[in-house]
Amino acid sequence: MESNDDLVKRRRFGEHLSAGARQLGLGLLDPLYPPTCLNCEAPLATPDTLCAACFAQLRPISDPLCPRLGLPFAADIGPDAISAEAMADPPPFGRARAAVVYDEIAGTLVSRLKYGDRPELARFCARLMAGAGHELWQGGPVLVPVPLHPARQWSRRYNQSAELALALGKLTGLAVDTSLVRRARKTRQQVGLSGEGRQRNVAGAFAAHAEVLVRAAGRRVVLVDDVYTTGATTKAVTRTLLRAGVEAVDVMTFARVVIGADMPI
């Protein structure tokens, strides 16, 4: 079976050919790469979306949910009820929201977004995030992507969180600040680490911009990332911003791991 990575590489090769052809004005080559579903590659009339069958398999996260962690509740247990997770381990951020449950299809989209160099995919994800995060946009917060270490960004050429934040900024009209916080220390990738290992891995890894108080004066920050897994990364960035004097931080991700749902991590 072809792995996600193989699919991504094959698509990238096709896209590079196609983009190169466009730059040369050879639009005639484009029909070789007709729009396909971002998940199953079924042919589509419009590019950069999912076919109806795959779209129906995405699991949007909507009310009722935990107001702090954004975890979906099976039943409405009242407007102020928070999840057991949020009670046991209160997060440093105010509210976290995600557009969809992290499952197989969401995982494919995130993997292609991360390694596939596809800004169009960021626009698709951002459309879902703009709706799911509507409560967070009130009061005109500034959108701040979770940063990559410069070395990793250089090798990947691309910070998927920044692409999501920029696409979300265009859709919501909110300001985006891609350098309000940076990675001061290179960390190993979180994949494969336990919850506690993830926390240790990112502790002290971030630094706020020296002018953070000027640039975020009187405004909340909404951190933007692709996936919320244990929250270790977003919590570490939140603590960095709060220590630097930012008043409040919320978190918006495209997908969220929900315990009990399938997790292809």
Q: How far apart are CA 68 and CA 54, in angstroms?
A: 29
The answer to whether residue 51 forms part of the interface with Zn ion (CB under 5 A) is yes
Tokens of 167: 């696409």
Letter for the amino acid at 185?
R
Q: Which is nearer to Zn ion, 50 or 249 (CB)?
A: 50
DSSP conformation letters of 98-157? EEEE-SHHHHHHHHHHHHS--HHHHHHHHHHHHHHTGGGGTT-PEEEEPPPPHHHHHHHS
Strands (E), 166-245: 181-183, 206-208, 221-228
Q: Which is nearer to Zn ion, 100 or 212 (CB)?
A: 100
Number of residues that bind Zn ion (CB under 5 A): 6
The answer to whether residue 207 forms part of the interface with Zn ion (CB under 5 A) is no
Q: Which is nearer to Zn ion, 85 or 120 (CB)?
A: 120
Q: Which stretch binds Zn ion (CB under 5 A): 11-19, 53-61, 103-111, 139-147?
A: 53-61
Q: State which of residues 37, 171, 175, 203 lies at the interface with Zn ion (CB under 5 A).
A: 37
Phi, psi for 178 (deg, rounded to 5): -85, -5
Residue 143 backbone class (left: φ over 0; alpha: ψ -120 to 50; beta: rest):
beta
The answer to whether residue 39 forms part of the interface with Zn ion (CB under 5 A) is yes
The answer to whether residue 181 forms part of the interface with Zn ion (CB under 5 A) is no
Q: State which of residues 8, 11, 49, 54 lies at the interface with Zn ion (CB under 5 A).
A: 54
**Among the listed residues 135, 157, 163, the one whose alpha carbon sits nearest the alpha carbon of residue 224:** 163
State the nearest-atom distance from the C-beta of 57 to Zn ion, in Å. 8
Q: Which stretch binds Zn ion (CB under 5 A): 11-19, 37-45, 134-142, 205-213?
A: 37-45
The answer to whether residue 56 forms part of the interface with Zn ion (CB under 5 A) is no
Which residues, in sequence order, are bridge partners of residue 181? 208
The answer to whether residue 40 forms part of the interface with Zn ion (CB under 5 A) is yes
State the nearest-atom distance from the C-beta of 122 to Zn ion, in Å. 19
Which residues form the interface with Zn ion (CB under 5 A)?
37, 39-40, 42, 51, 54
